[in-house]
Amino acid sequence: MKYLTARPIGHLMIVFILGYYCSIGWAADKKSQPTDFIELAAVMLKDGHSDRALIALQSVDLKDKKTDLVRFYTLQGLAYLNLNDFSAAKDSLQLAVKNGQKESVIFAYLAQAHYALKEYRDTIQSIDKAGEHASKANLITLKAQAYWHLKETAAAINTLDEGQRLYPKDFSFLRRKVFYFVELELYHEATQLGRQYLKRSKAAVEDYIAIGSALRLSKQYHEALDILEIARLQFPNNEVVAKQLAHTYLDLGKLNSAAFIFEQAALLNPDLQAEAAEIYRRAGRFHKALILNESISDQKVKLKQRLSILLALKQFERAANMESSLYRSGLLDDQEVRYALAYALFSSSRFPEANKHLDHLKDAELFRKGTELRRLMEICKTEPWQCT
């Protein structure tokens, strides 16, 4: 599920690279460097030009005993990591360690490469070797995610709990735990934690939507309503909240509630008028649907929906009189619309016109229905008393 993905690797890179350059001295002996290409690559990498850094490193003579291999492979690994070439990044960083890189931050970088390559056990092991860096919020999240992918759910949740303990004002751990509980089908706990997160974190509308949607997709409709109704009160003008709430009511079969929400949302976005009218139609409130249908701007949507409403109201003459409008809009290319019009004409005793439209039906099911209409028309001609 999307909400279980880790934070972008690029975000972690920025955090770690800045910390790396600001707080860690490379302690390089300039006499050991036959050229300045390594120094040039370091500057380019720091300035965000990872591709240029790799080009500079290509000019380094690795056979020269004076070459600082630790620094070379570290810089190369960081450059590859920045360019999302995770396999190459892992190889270079491991060579840096093999050649004597002692800085524990190297394992933080390795953890990112392993995670991107879905090597989750190696991710955890690298984080455990990252020393003080292992307690950084981003690495705690990465570790929890690695445990989660390994289906070690208790360890994943315990890791998030540790993150909460270390960073009590960072509510991302609590948020992620909500989605873990949803995935584990612990819906009651997920709802309780979700409410706690939304209350404590001064959550954005996106958080309400994400948690409500997760519960809805898990078919926990009443729990989803609890979250989305609160969101509707706090963000009355948010269209996505309105849609999610309306669709949750639809999932529960509460058509009138869903239609009303769409109707209210249409005051801000008239494009939603058609959905409101359609749901009212499905709910059997045909006159209400017809009123809303008048305001729909998309003529094809308006005419097609209007035809279906008039048929439901058994106002066959009005439906049949839509023929020219349906023709001008191109809707008669839709075989279902053409059959509906033919039915309206049949019900208005305009048999020749109905037959003309039935001649155009190619769809097997609609052709069968058309054949039945023709049979009924013949009965009406010979025994009109049966059609009154």
> Would you kindly state where each structural domain of the chain is located, as residue ranges?
171-253
Query: What confidence score (pLDDT) does residue 348 get?
Result: 92
Q: Which one-letter amino acid corresponds to residue 274?
A: A
Work out the pLDDT band at 188, boundaries 50, 70, 90.
confident
Residue-wise over 354-383: b if at least 16 C-beta within 10 A, else e? bbebbeebeeeebeebbeebeeebeebeee
- Degrees, nearest 5: CA angle 378-381-382: 90
Give pTM, 2 decimals: 0.68
Q: Quote the mean pLDDT of the chain.
A: 89
Dump pLDDT digits (tens) for 326-348: 999 999 999 999 999 999 999 99
Work out the pLDDT band at 15, boundaries 50, 70, 90.
very low
End-to-end Cα spacing for the chain: 58
C-alpha Rg value of the chain to the nearest Å: 33
Cβ count within 10 A of residue 202: 8
Query: What confidence score (pLDDT) does residue 10 get?
Result: 46
3-state helix, strand, coil in the chain (%, to 5): 75, 0, 25
Tell the CATH topology of 171-253. Answer: 1.25.40
With contact defined as beta carbons under 8 Å apart, do 197 and 178 qualify? yes
Give me the long-range contacts of 252-258 (CB less than 8 A, separation at least 24). Answer: 252/221, 252/222, 252/225, 255/279, 255/280, 255/282, 255/283, 256/280, 256/283, 256/285
With contact defined as beta carbons under 8 Å apart, do 241 and 231 qualify? yes
**DSSP-based three-state secondary structure for 6:** coil
Q: Residues 154-172: what's their mean pLDDT? A: 95
Phi, psi of 67 (to 5 degrees): -70, 130
**Whole-Å CA distances, 74 to 46, 88, 103, 131, 159:** 13, 12, 10, 17, 29
Q: Which of 382, 321, 326, 329 is nearest to 347 (CA)?
A: 321
